[in-house]
Structure 1
Amino acid sequence: MRLFDAEFWKLVSDKSLAAIYITDENGKVLYVNDIVVRATGYTKEEIYRMESIFDLSHPEDREDLIRRFREVSGAEPLFYESRYITKDGRERWVWGYTVAVEFAGQKFIIGNWIDVTRAKKLEQRLKESEEFYKTLVEDSLTPIYLIQDGVMVYVNRAFEDATGYRREEIIGKSPFFIIHPEDREIVQKRYLEREKGLRETETYSWRIITKSGDVRWVTARPGKVTYRGKPAVAATAIDTTEIYLLTEELKRRGEYLAFLNKVMRHDIANAITAIRISIEMVMESPERAKKMLPLAMKKADYIIKLINDSRELEKALEELKPVNLADIVRELLEVYRDNDISAKIEDVVVMANEGIRTVINNIIHNALVHGRSGVKVEVCSNEKNGIVRVSDLGDGIPDELKDKIFEEGFTTGEGTGLGLYIARKIVEIYGGKIEVKDNVPKGCIFEIIIPKN
């Protein structure tokens, strides 16, 4: 089974423990998974007949939810806390994550929610009697923590399990070393504002780094409390890494399908139109055949190249696995053995798939075409990444074009303008990047950088 098959990913979504829904930009429900049915008590058919997803929401929350959903954009996902009413009238609390995506010229909303009714009730009761509820907090499946004066004063067992740190490693210390460096400043800033009473209770997400070095996404709801007569911040949290990854995967696949849609509907359609016009002109005037048939053949070759280019991007959607970059490069150099290429190769294993062969081959081919001679291929690594470095002694790339060459459709006059664009997309799927810099004394250097296994 190929992991990018639509039926497989529908099965993953249907059987997810998190509620998943897709609506149009007006909130009309287009899809819900099985857990939504179990959680709300409504059948899928009943939900699809509703005017909008907001028909499920609590009447007191509905207007605010509608306002916030209208503000959702692809760049800024929405984290929210809300209530919904089940078919039998029960009130339930959820934490939700919603993001807007564009596909085939239309805007869709992809959302997830987790039922946090139990955690919400626990949070509310915590304010009533610290001692009475301490046992419940300690045994909660949800990580809970309490910060005061910039240091951690309490964590429960679930917090220890989630982070890998024992409480004696946390209590009495600043907790922000656990926060991912890129998120640390904003989380610390919000904590200080909240403890001073300048920020209301809210739900939002950030990344943490566990004791073992894993990066995990958590969604938490910190709020100001009074602890032993002084202001503090208490929060319940939940690991939302799988939801985040699933949402990103759905978004990435949506972008890929949109890309294929553009290629098939726009570029190929235009090329076919040109071929048809050429044939009609030849039929009307056979003496034009010598001029028009080569043009038609050129457009046909262009279509074939477009299809091949889009197929290469498809390879990158296969399951990631350990790949030795040295093996890939050695096999490609055998193909180019009649060319002037030197190599310096060491074994480096990264997480990739067959798509990496397309990337490296594209860069080597470009170096041979534009660099003409003195091409050198290196495979090496640093602490975190595997690196494939391809250098040449050609004319180089002007500084003003170094970023543009990776843009969709950029071309110097030959090809589809998709080769380097696809190469960059594939490497980004692996969590890596491609960089280009000047070579000395002349030419340029391409570096393909991919996280190691």
Structure 2
Amino acid sequence: MQEKQVQEFDSPNILQLFNGIVEQSVAGIYLLQDGVLQYVNNKFADLFDTKPDRMMGRSLVDLAPPDQKESLVAQYERRIEGTDPESHFIIRAALRKSGVRLIEIHGKRVEYRGQPAVVGVGIDVTDRERAHVELVRSRTQLQALMSEIETIQETERARIAMELHDDVGGILTALKFDVARLKRRIERLSGQSGQVVDTSDLLDLTLSVSELAQEAIDSARRISDELRPTALEHLGLFAAIRDYIDRFRIRFNIDCSLILPHSESAASSAVELDLFRIIQEALTNVARHADATKVRVSIAREGDRLDIAIEDNGRGLPVGDARNTGSGLIGIRERAHRVGAEFTIDNVETGGVRIELHAPWEFTH
């Protein structure tokens, strides 16, 4: 029965049908045996700007590009031995008519006339590979642009913070002193003999203005510190985080616990600033979107790595969207990438969101 099937397959009608299908294929098809191309269809020959009869009967060594000859032959031998059944190879062909083309070659080990051979397809992937290269280049350029934007933003934040502290803060402080002087003069006026002056309303007014001035001073300091955290520059990352969380707890009335390493250490100022901003942005997201009552920030050192975890008890991210790019996560992801950190975000079973960051940490002391 098997012999009859083979005979039927070898019949002229079957061979004619097979050849018709192969020659109409949109992919190049080849058969390689004993290191020689036994067969190629028209499409395969077209990939190399030639004709089938100019390729069939020629060895792989003769046809392979000089700089890829060794690796191409080695892959063919592994395929024949059955040790490399799934991989593919991209041939960089410099052609007279088409210029440089990238041909992706796939192959499978088969038995042909009782001997091992490789049959497979060739596909022109020039446009795909160029698009991939362009995508990678665009990604690199985008990262560089984002980094430049972040640098400009931090510089501008520092400038605004300094102006708030020096100019606005100075003006408000002077206003507070002037109100205090006015208050003292009114008190002296009301205490002079022979004078009947009702100064109670004026004293109340000075107290109110003084309180408003102090409130404005505190706001200017808070805004200035959020724009450019002075604690980060003078006390280091851990102290700056501790200070920020203390103010976060009071401002948003959210129970925020903090676990820090027992000993201080420092990295470059740029890395510390990025890590501080990541924690700042994550907590800002909690305050704005999570509807949480508790948040826990944990920082631990593991060798030359800093592990940061931020977990809240809020409503979590939408189901199926735990890795979305909204809610400030774009900036967090970009900063994490910039410092070489692994970043993950997921909903937790008990409710809320958990952010984890594993960053390389080069100690300076």
Q: TM-score, normalised by structure 2?
A: 0.39
Tell which structure's C-alpha radius of gyration is larger. 2
Q: TM-score, normalised by structure 1?
A: 0.32
Name the one with the larger helix percent: 2
Name the one with the larger strand percent: 1
